[in-house]
Amino acid sequence: MQLQLQTWQEVEAYLARSTAIIIPIGSTEQHGPNGFIGTDALCPEFLARAIGDGEDVLVAPTISVGMAQHHLGFAGSITLRPSTLMAVIQDTVNSLAVHGFDSFYFLNGHGGNIATVTAAFSEIYAESSLGRADHNRPPLRCKLRNWWDLQGVQSLSQELFGEAEGRHATCSEVSLTYYAYPEHVKHADMTPEIAPTGPIYAADDYRRRFPDGRIGSNPALASVAAGEQLFHAAIAELGEDFKAFSAGAD
C-alpha cells in the first residue's frame, strides 16, 4: 500500500495494526550510457511497492534525491548536501512519529547515501537519549537495508554477470530498472567493455577517472530477463527481513 494513495482514516486504521513503514531512499544521478538517471531511486521504490502490494505494509513516498555530489559532472544529476539529506530524513521520521509510527525501514538504492543515512539515524536517537524529543513518544527504531546487499541478490548477480557487475551503473541495478520499465530499455556502446575502477572524490575528478560514468561494470549485459530474476530473489528475502524488523526481532 502506498501512503500517497491512502486517506488519513486509512492510515489511522493501519496504525492500529502496525507501526512499521518502509521508506524507499535513492538518488538522482547519471548511471552510465544505458542506465536511467533515476536508477537508484527506482530500484528500491519498485521493490518496496511490490512488498507493500503483496502484504499489509505501508510504503512512504520515495526520497528520490540523495548524496551524489560526485556525479555532478554529468548532466541531469542532482545532489543534496549530507546535512540537507540528514534534515530530510529526520523531518520525515519525526513527522511520521507524531502519528504513532515507530519502526522505519529505509530501503536504500545508493551506496553514497549510507554514511549520511546512518548519521541521520544517530541524530534521531540522540534527540531521544538527550531528552529533547516528546517524552510521550515511543522509542523509535530505524533500519537501513541496501537492496543490492541481499544475499540472494549478491549470489545471483555474481552468477549472471561475474566481474562485469562492477561498482556503479552495475548490471544488476540496470537490469532491475529494465524489468520495471521495459519500454525504456536503452542500447549503447561500452568502450572499454568493462569500465575502470578507482576511488571517488569530487565531481571533476570523478569525470576524469570515469569518463562515461560507469565504475568497473559492463551494463551492456543488463536485460529485462535478468531484472526479473533479481526482482524475485530480492522480494523473497526483503519480505522476511521487513517482517523480522517490524516484529522487533532485528
Q: Which residues bind Ni ion (CB under 5 A)?
A: 39-40, 173
Nearest approach in angstroms of CB 147 to Ni ion is 10
Nearest approach in angstroms of CB 29 to Ni ion is 7
Q: Which single residue brings its beta carbon nearest to Ni ion?
A: 40
Nearest approach in angstroms of CB 199 to Ni ion is 17
Q: To which residue does cell 536511467 refer?
A: 36
Instruction: Measure the CA–CA gap between 218 and 195, rounded to whole angstroms.
Output: 7
Instruction: Measure the CA–CA gap between 48 and 36, rounded to whole angstroms.
Output: 19
Edge-first strand order for the sheet with 58-59 is: 58-59, 20-25, 103-108, 141-146
Give the distance between the most distant pair of CA atoms in the chain.
Answer: 58
Residue placing its CB nearer to Ni ion in the complex, 21 or 176: 176
Residue placing its CB nearer to Ni ion in the complex, 32 or 82: 32
Residue placing its CB nearer to Ni ion in the complex, 92 or 170: 170
Residue placing its CB nearer to Ni ion in the complex, 19 or 69: 69
Nearest approach in angstroms of CB 84 to Ni ion is 20
